[in-house]
Every structure is written in C-alpha cells, then in structure tokens.
C-alpha cells in the first residue's frame, strides 16, 4: 500500500483533530498551519487543531534539545563571523542566540540599518523588547520610514506613560507598509489617556471601510467606551457583536463575555455561550473559561490592557487572509507586543505558539507555550499543541507522556484519545492504536462531525494489524458517514487492489477519488495501479509517472512505476525506479525483498 503517511496527510484538517487549532477556532483564525510556501490553513480560525510541542519537564526533552546546537561565538568576533553565526542560530530556531550575534554585528557596524532592522524585528518576535527597543531607535535614526521601528518605539513610550510621544511615532509610521493596518487600533489607545472619547473613537473610522475590519469597530469601540466610563455606548457595541456570536471566533466571544460581566450583564453570558457552542462545540479550554468568567472583576479596562487587545487584534487580522511567512512574522511581533503590555494575556501566547508551530519552529513554539500556567483555561489545549510539536520533532515517547497527563485531567476528551492513537499508529503500535481509537469513539458521541475520521483512522490501524475484516467495516462506516470522501475511497479501493479482490468496485472507488483530487500523488498512484492491474500498461505508465512527479520520495509509487516500465519494455528505467524505491525509509522489509528479487531477475510473468 502506498505509504500510510500519504493518506494521513489528508486528515490534518478533520473536525475531530481540534487540539490547538480548536483553540484558534475559539480564538479566531483558521490555523491548521502547515507553512510551506504559505501558512496552509491560516492561523486565524482555530488555535487548536492539532500541532505539537516540545519539552515535557523533569528529565524529558528540553526545549532547546531538538534544535541544532548554536555555534560557539566566533573566536575573532569579526563582523562576518558574527553575522553568519547569527544567521545559523536564526535558521535553527534559536532566536535569542541569533539576537545576541546580531547585536555584536551592529556594535561593529552601527550604521547598518538593514542589520539593525533584522535585530529589532527578530527580538520583537521572541518577546525581547529590552533588545528590540534600542535597536529600533538606532534603526529609526538611519531609516526612519522603514520597517516596524516607529511602532516599537511608540509601544515603548506608551508603556512609559509618555502618550503624546507614542502618538507622534505612530504618526510617523508610513501608510504604505504592512504596519499601517494596525494604526487604526493603536492610535485610539495612544490617545485615550490624554484625549477626549470623541477624538480617540474617531480614529476607528478607517476600519469601517473594509469588510474584514468592520467588526473591529465594535470590538475596539466597546473597549474604548468602557475605558471612558460610557457604559451604554460600550454595551451597544458588545450587543452588536453578540448578535452573530455563532459565527465569531473565540477572541471576540471572550471580549463580549468579559465586557458583559464588567458592565453588570452577567446574566446574559450563559445564553451567549450556548449560542456559540452550537456551531463551535465544546473543549476543555472552553469549559474552563466558562467556569472562570464569573470571576472577572468589575474593574474598568486599563489603557495598557486596551492597547494590548488592539495589538492582538492586529495580529489576528494579519493572518486571517492570505497568510504567508512574512505576515506570520509580523503578527508574532504584534502578539508579543501585546504580552509586553499585558503579561497576563495567555490568548496571545497560544496564538504565538500555534503560529510558530505552523512555521515549523517547534522549539520556539514549545518555549512560549510552556510558560502557560496550569491554572490557565487553555492549559490542556496547549499541552496538546506541545505533544504534536514533539511528534513532529520525532519525539513520540515524550509526546505520549504529555497526552497521558492530559487524559488524566480530561479522560473523556475525544481529541486527546485521537492524538494518542495517531502517534501509536505512526509508531506501528497498531493494537495499542486501535484501543485508543476505541476510547475516542466511546466518548465522541454519534452526533460528532468527526466520527467518520476516527473510523477511517482506526480502519488504517486495523488493516496494518492484518485484521482486514474489521478494517473493511470501519472504512465502510466512514463512507456511510462521509459519502464520497476521496481519502476513504482511495484507501479502501487500493486495499481491494492490493488483495486482488472486488477489482471492479476498487476501480470505481478509486476513479471517484481521482475525479475529486486529480493532482494528489497517492490517488494518482492508486488510479495508475488500477490500470496496471487491468493490463492497461501504457496508460498506467502515464499516470504513475505523474504520481512519482507529485510524490517523488514514496517508495511504493516508485516501485509501481518500475513494474509498469517493465511491462512496456523499458527495462533500464524499471530497474532505476526499483532502486529509487529502495531508498525510501517507508518501505517494509518484505517489500524490500520483493524489489531486490525484481532487480536480480526482472518482473515475473503472470
């Protein structure tokens, strides 16, 4: 069978896997972030969909262990040596070490605005504002209109209560940069402590011009009016957001609920939560937050808290549409600035952790996620993120330790059982994986939209465990719940081909999957192999070549193409493909023996 890994790739966005991405969904961004050229699913719709993390604690793996060791300080401390060492550290997710080296470079070349910009930008992303602020000031002197320097300097003045200076630097931020989008949520808070409500609120006007930012008028309007003691006006904004709370992200729900509590409308919070749950579902994070909301104090929001919310809103907004690497970096810097002003802003930590994980920076992701206190509502979701990060860092044992602790705290959490089962299956512990999937199904409930995915995944584990009868039942159940799902169609169809049974049905299933995903390498392989099994060798070659082009490292697909080449008389190319197949680490030993025999004797005639 073409590698299970390939089939797993289609499962990353399934409803059942709502670990940290589910947090994002509650929080507000579509993040199944797997960033290749783009952040694959937008860190804007679900800070809890399933990602991993790093260290566990005690004698478990430490956050820095997985990254390549930082190079020693260059002996000559020269400019080039320090710069290259900084780049090396940065590429290995050691941001703090990179900043140290870049600082050394800027000491040697203090007028280099590009290096200064790199230093403050990287420092801001790692939350090191003690380094970011002076570097931004130096950069501003050499290139005042470039990068985030004016924003970082403004944040520094704001924290020092130098509000007029903060406004001045924000005014110096050019409207032609990526930072201009944040100005309408930052300027009102910079003005709020020293200007009238009318002046500060007028700064929100640009947000009304765009559909994606219109809701921020109510978000920031509610908070600003609260700050000014205008209760009725604040409630009007919160009520406007509450009307469509079913479609909102968790970050908006959080602000409305807390605003209601502070302004004496605590009795409306339960109804608000009930409507949100109808479309988003519950999670340990949501349940913990719902239990904590009555404890929110009646103290009015402070300017620091308001500015922090504005910065976090800007971070979310940046990743809601067209997410990419640079946007992810800028949004991380804004979220870190929010924490700088409000250290209790755990939602921003979770956002940063998920964004970093989506960019493949698992060490840095874990480092910030591990700062979340066990008493925080999002703690268990964060542990799920950490576990997934560890898995992606090839530390499955450490990941399983975390998941076991999570299940001690929340034994009926379906997502945690699924996450554990997935790791066990990937580690080829199929019997244990089936047991974990059984637990997931037990607690999922019939109405859970992701139940089909559990049946599908359990079917894979059962098939790998040589229990085909039970596996086939799971695949059939998955199709009953999710008719025409291309992943299930493909896996079941190929399984029939592999066993030489129900070949007509196998072809129908695979053709259905192929029509839906004609560019999926694994599905193209199945289609090509179906053609091969039917003796249509020329057409099989054409499709299997496309499959190898789409998924060049898969051993089984290369093996299939080798067989097809042999059948059409292209013997040298066949042997080349078989040799390539043996390079794959996914090829099982029995298959290696078969390929070795083909290399010696050619493909046996049937």
Q: What is the pLDDT of residues 293-341, one digit of tens each?
A: 877 777 889 999 999 999 999 999 888 877 788 889 999 999 999 999 9
- The whole-angstrom separation of Cα 329 and Cα 324 is 9
**297, containing H or E segment:** none
The pTM score is 0.79
**225 versus 114: which is more confidently predicted?**
225
- The whole-angstrom separation of Cα 204 and Cα 189 is 10
* CA-closest candidate to residue 459, choices 504, 425, 420: 425
**421, containing H or E segment:** helix 414-426
- Residue 32, pLDDT > 60, answer no
- The whole-angstrom separation of Cα 549 and Cα 325 is 26
Note the Cα 307 to chain centre separation in Å.
Answer: 25
Sign of CA dihedral 209, 213, 218, 221: negative
Q: What are 87-144's pLDDT values in tens digits?
A: 566 566 566 666 666 566 565 556 666 778 888 998 999 999 999 999 999 889 888 7
- Residue 30, pLDDT > 50, answer no
- The whole-angstrom separation of Cα 273 and Cα 377 is 15
* CA-closest candidate to residue 193, choices 151, 163, 156, 223: 163
Q: What are 352-380's pLDDT values in tens digits?
A: 999 999 999 999 999 999 999 998 989 99
DSSP, collapsed to helix, strand or coil, labels residue 39 as strand
What's the pLDDT score for residue 4? 38
What's the pLDDT score for residue 78? 65
Range with the lowest mean pLDDT among 7-11, 391-395, 548-552, 556-560? 7-11
What's the pLDDT score for residue 5? 33
| Structure-block tokens of residue 377 | 């509502």
**C-beta separation of 248 from 28 below 8 A:** yes
What's the pLDDT score for residue 459? 97
Q: List 48's β-bridge partners, or say none.
A: 21
Confidence at 199, pLDDT banded by 50, 70, 90 = very high
Four-point Cα dihedral 190, 196, 197, 201, nearest 10: -50
Domains and CATH numbers, the chain: 402-470 (1.25.40), 484-606 (1.25.40.10)
Range with the lowest mean pLDDT among 44-48, 236-240, 574-578? 44-48
* CA-closest candidate to residue 447, choices 417, 487, 414, 488: 414
Cβ burial of 298 (10 Å; 0-12, 13-18, 19+) is exposed
- Residue 499, pLDDT > 80, answer yes
Question: How high does pLDDT run on average in the chain?
Answer: 83
Q: What are 148-178's pLDDT values in tens digits?
A: 899 999 999 999 999 999 999 998 886 666 6
**C-beta separation of 555 from 588 below 8 A:** no
What's the pLDDT score for residue 302? 94
Q: What is the mean pLDDT of residues 422-451?
A: 92
What's the pLDDT score for residue 113? 67
Range with the lowest mean pLDDT among 57-66, 491-500, 593-602? 57-66
């Amino acid at each position: 069978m073409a590698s299970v890994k390939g089939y797993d790739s289609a499962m990353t966005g399934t409803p059942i896997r709502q670990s940290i991405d589910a947090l994002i969904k509650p929080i507000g961004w579509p993040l199944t972030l797997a960033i290749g050229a783009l952040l694959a699913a937008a860190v804007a719709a679900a800070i809890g969909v399933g990602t991993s993390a790093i260290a566990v604690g005690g004698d478990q793996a430490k956050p820095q262990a997985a990254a390549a060791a930082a190079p020693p300080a260059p002996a000559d401390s020269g400019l080039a040596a320090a710069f290259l060492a900084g780049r090396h550290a940065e590429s290995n997710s050691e941001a703090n070490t990179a900043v140290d080296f870049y600082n050394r470079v800027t000491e040697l070349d203090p007028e280099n605005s590009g290096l200064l910009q790199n230093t403050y930008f990287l420092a801001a992303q790692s939350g090191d504002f003690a380094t970011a602020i002076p570097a931004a000031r130096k950069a501003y002197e050499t290139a005042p209109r470039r990068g985030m320097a004016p924003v970082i300097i403004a944040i520094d003045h704001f924290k020092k209560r130098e509000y007029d200076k903060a406004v001045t630097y924000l005014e110096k931020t050019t409207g032609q940069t990526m930072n201009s989008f944040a100005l309408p949520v930052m300027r009102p808070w910079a003005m709020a402590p020293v200007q009238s409500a009318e002046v500060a609120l007028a700064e929100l006007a640009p947000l009304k011009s765009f559909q994606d930012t219109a809701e921020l008028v109510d978000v920031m309007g509610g908070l600003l009016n609260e700050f000014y003691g205008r209760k009725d006006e604040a409630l009007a904004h919160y009520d406007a957001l509450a009307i469509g709370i079913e479609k909102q992200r968790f970050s908006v729900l959080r602000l409305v609920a807390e605003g209601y509590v502070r302004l004496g409308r605590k009795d409306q919070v339960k109804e608000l939560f009930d409507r949100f749950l109808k479309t988003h579902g519950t999670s340990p994070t949501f349940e913990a937050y719902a239990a904590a909301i009555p404890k929110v104090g009646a103290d009015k929001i402070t300017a620091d808290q308001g500015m922090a919310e504005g910065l976090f809103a800007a971070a979310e907004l940046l990743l809601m549409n067209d997410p990419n690497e640079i946007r992810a970096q800028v949004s991380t810097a804004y979220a870190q600035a929010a924490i700088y002003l409000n250290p209790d802003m755990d939602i921003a930590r979770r956002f940063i952790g998920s964004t970093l994980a989506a960019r493949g920076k698992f060490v840095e992701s874990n480092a910030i996620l591990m700062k979340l206190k066990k008493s925080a509502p999002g703690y268990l979701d964060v542990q799920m993120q950490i576990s997934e990060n560890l898995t992606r860092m090839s530390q499955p044992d450490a990941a399983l330790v975390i998941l076991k602790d999570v299940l001690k705290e929340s034994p009926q959490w379906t997502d945690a059982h699924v996450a554990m089962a997935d790791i066990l299956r990937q580690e080829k512990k199929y019997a244990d994986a089936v047991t974990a999937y059984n637990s997931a199904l037990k607690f999922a409930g019939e109405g859970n939209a992701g139940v089909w995915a559990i049946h599908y995944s359990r079917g894979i584990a059962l098939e790998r465990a040589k229990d085909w009868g039970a596996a086939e039942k799971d695949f059939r159940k998955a199709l009953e719940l999710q008719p025409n799902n291309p992943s299930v169609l493909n896996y079941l169809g190929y399984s029939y081909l592999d066993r030489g049974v129900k070949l007509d049905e196998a072809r129908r299933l695979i053709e259905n999957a192929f029509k839906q995903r004609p560019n999926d390498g694994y599905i193209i392989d199945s289609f090509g192999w179906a053609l091969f099994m039917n003796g249509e060798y020329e057409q099989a070659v054409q499709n299997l070549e496309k499959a190898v082009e789409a998924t060049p490292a898969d051993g089984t697909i290369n093996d299939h193409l080798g067989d097809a080449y042999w059948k059409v008389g292209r013997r040298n190319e066949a042997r080349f493909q078989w040799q390539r197949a043996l390079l794959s680490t996914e090829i099982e030993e029995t298959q290696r023996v078969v390929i070795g025999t083909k290399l010696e004797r050619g493909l046996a005639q049937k």
